[in-house]
Amino acid sequence: MWWIAAGVLLLALMLQTTLMHYTRIRNVEASLVLVAVVWYALRADLQSAAIYGLAAGLLEDILATGTGAAWTISTTLCAIAASIASRGFFADSIPIGTTLVFAITLVRALIFWIVMGLEGYPSGLGALHFHEALFEALLNAILMAIVMLLARRFEDRFA
């Protein structure tokens, strides 16, 4: 059901670019796109997760001017990491899913800022970006828990 996954990604991207800016806390917003990528990667094989992460990152780079390929590279590598990490546990485990999205958020931020630095972005704001990444990781973990709980509720209804 690739079209469902594509629809979820497009919906997440649309909400991320239009509404999530209004939910900022301390100048940080949760990433619906990253949560969608990790959720898909938890359930997909490595190749499918990499393609999904590549598509998500590419769409983010297209919409975010001035990032070069930073979102594409970081999101693709994080989708691969999430897919590899999920091989040893159940994909519907809320504690594991939220912990994984917390860690993946930090890894994604690290890769993003490394790529941006290689593209010439000044690295003098590293501490600020690290604090924002920590808070975003917390928000993404909370969002992942909410999404997983909602998915369980609707899966039970339609099963």
Instruction: Give the pLDDT confidence score for residue 117 in this predicted structure.
Output: 85
pLDDT confidence of residue 3: 86
Q: What's the pLDDT score for residue 18?
A: 92
The whole-angstrom separation of Cα 8 and Cα 14 is: 10
Q: What is the CATH number of the domain that holds 96?
A: 1.10.1760.20
Q: Per residue of the chain (159 residues), give pLDDT as tens.
A: 688 889 999 999 999 999 998 999 988 999 999 999 999 999 899 999 999 999 999 999 999 888 889 999 999 999 999 999 888 777 778 999 999 999 999 999 999 998 988 888 777 666 778 889 999 999 999 999 999 998 888 776 655
Number of domains in the chain: 1
Quote the CA–CA distance of 122 and 99 in Å, as a whole number.
30
Give the pLDDT of residue 92. Answer: 79
> Angle at CA 83, nearest 5°, toward 156 and 34?
75
Residue 156 has a pLDDT of 64
Q: Give the Cα separation of 87 and 49 in Å (integer).
A: 12
Could you tell me the residue range of the domain that residue 99 belongs to? 2-158
At residue 158, the pLDDT reads 57
Residue-level pLDDT at 157: 62
Q: Specify the pLDDT at position 88.
A: 72
Q: Per the structure block, which two tokens stand in for 113?
A: 């800022």
Q: What is the pLDDT of residue 26?
A: 87
* Predicted TM-score (pTM) of this structure: 0.90
